[in-house]
Structure 1
């Protein structure tokens, strides 16, 4: 059963949804970007229903200034109080829980990492956002990460149709040379005060069991891999061969299965 409720965060009333279930391990879903708690294409609402049907209560909320919530939208980097207040509200609404695992995609994943420590039994962070504010204003850099370009060209070199187009002169050589030049450029280390560096540092300092989830064809995930390579050796990583940033369609089933596997781990059960 799903019910609507509200809670307070620094004087603002925030809207939330609780998918009730009897399990002792709950899932807190933090929305990314400026999305409301239902998520892109209602993906988070559907995810909540799947997880609750499997026996785990799920709490979603709109942070300040988003959706049905009051207050000013300060972006994901100022959402620490919202997440902490949501955790308290979740515990009050489902007092039978003994553990809470938090899930976030994109900048919600980054928010969960940056605002540690939180009283959580686990973290699941998907496709963490590592672009700084200037890149965020223009969506993404003009070129994808070098790893994405490399994978794309390797795929095309194995495709007879692409080779035939090259022989026939049907390939835009300006784009080709631009992409190849990006492969030659050395990867500059992230500036100490950059978002990527701060996220990498947050992962290094984690005291909470954490799993990183990546849609390997997604540019945000690719940028994270390129910007924070050491992070992939510090915590478990689940990879899905998909370009769907929001785990749309059948990818949602895959994501739900991975989340349930984590929620059902003996160390996270009462």
Structure 2
């Protein structure tokens, strides 16, 4: 299906944001708002968001990708994923103003943009949002990182022939390796002690609360070769509430076993596009 792309400018808390709207020739009633993760702008790593928006538009789904305040061509001060609720709300409003046929939107986000999606829902319960596509959600803390290193890095190293060759020939740097392992173990224990006092860090707690209250459909996509995804899975294992949420029928979990964090190859990006489109077809029915 053919589509058009146009730049749109819209206001947010006194600043001007820039977005790109891709509109299919025959647009459906479901639109996709692509959220940017990390300190990057609307094109995304490897032009991923640009390519994704065009793939979705060719399949009939209107899309908007935009720059937060302080990034790309938007004015204002730089902010992180915990401070973009106003930006997301303004983008949804601008999207519907430019595509009035849209009745509900799906928020699509990678890494801390996935986290921002949940934080936005937790803060607003915006009735316009009917679905979430979450890729490698960011739940980073010292505890989750240390736990992931112990399980996935040190555990795998013990199974590698290179590890034992270096150990036997004195090339391993054993003191440094042991120190790294012990340091990770200490951070895990310290994190558990801190968790006993404060439960979890604020944004992670809000993410779980957002998941618990969300009434729409969720697609969770995880990379097999990514510590951020592994940290998320570790968080699931130690949080029964989070684990229970992901078992609900409204949550579809899948992924690409060999993919890295940003799905950097053309094949991985194409797979993500296909997975998103197939889920949207089911979501729209």
Q: Same fold (TM over 0.5)?
A: yes
Contact conserved, 2:146 with 2:185, CA < 8 A, in 1?
no
Could you say what secondary structure the match of 2:73 adopts? coil
RMSD between superposed Cα atoms in Å: 2.6
Greater CA drift, 108-117 or 249-258 = 249-258
Which residue of 2, 15, 32 maps to 1:12? 15
Q: 1:116-155 maps to which residues of 2 (within 5 A)?
A: 116=121, 117-118=125-126, 119-131=128-140, 144-155=145-156
> Are positions 1:112 and 2:117 aligned together?
yes
Contact conserved, 1:148 with 1:217, CA < 8 A, in 2?
no
TM-score, normalised with respect to structure 1: 0.84
Greater CA drift, 145-154 or 20-29 = 145-154
Give the superposition deviation at 1:258: 1.7
| Richer in helix (by share) | 2
Contact conserved, 2:34 with 2:65, CA < 8 A, in 1?
yes
Q: 1:232-247 maps to which residues of 2 (within 5 A)?
A: 232-235=243-246, 236=251, 237-242=253-258, 244-247=260-263
Query: Which portions of structure 1, spanning 4 or more consecutive aligned residues, are displaced by more than 6 angstroms?
Result: none
Greater CA drift, 204-213 or 116-125 = 204-213
Counterpart in 1 of 2:226? 218
Give the superposition deviation at 1:142: 11
Which residue of 41, 44, 52 maps to 1:39? 44
Counterpart in 2 of 1:176? 177
Return the alpha-carbon distance in structure 2 between the equivalents of residues 50 and 174 of structure 1.
51
Return the alpha-carbon distance in structure 2 between the equivalents of residues 175 and 221 of structure 1.
26
Query: Are residues 201 and 175 of structure 1, via their aligned partners in 2, closer, same or farther at CA, if it must alter by over 3 Å?
Result: farther
Give 5+ residue unaligned stretches, structure 1. 133-140
Contact conserved, 1:99 with 1:120, CA < 8 A, in 2?
yes
Give the superposition deviation at 1:183: 5.0
Contact conserved, 1:113 with 1:199, CA < 8 A, in 2?
yes
Contact conserved, 2:105 with 2:131, CA < 8 A, in 1?
yes
Deviation per residue, 1:10-45 (Å, 9 max, x gap): 332210001221241221101112211111232211
Counterpart in 2 of 1:138? none
Query: Are residues 143 and 195 of structure 1, via their aligned partners in 2, closer, same or farther at CA, if it must alter by over 3 Å?
Result: closer
Greater CA drift, 40-49 or 145-154 = 145-154
Return the alpha-carbon distance in structure 1 between the equivalents of residues 58 and 171 of structure 2.
52
> Are positions 1:88 and 2:104 aligned together?
no
Return the alpha-carbon distance in structure 2 between the equivalents of residues 214 and 225 of structure 1.
9
Return the alpha-carbon distance in structure 2 between the equivalents of residues 71 and 219 of structure 1.
32
Could you say what secondary structure the match of 1:115 adopts? helix
Counterpart in 1 of 2:272? 255
Greater CA drift, 244-253 or 221-230 = 221-230
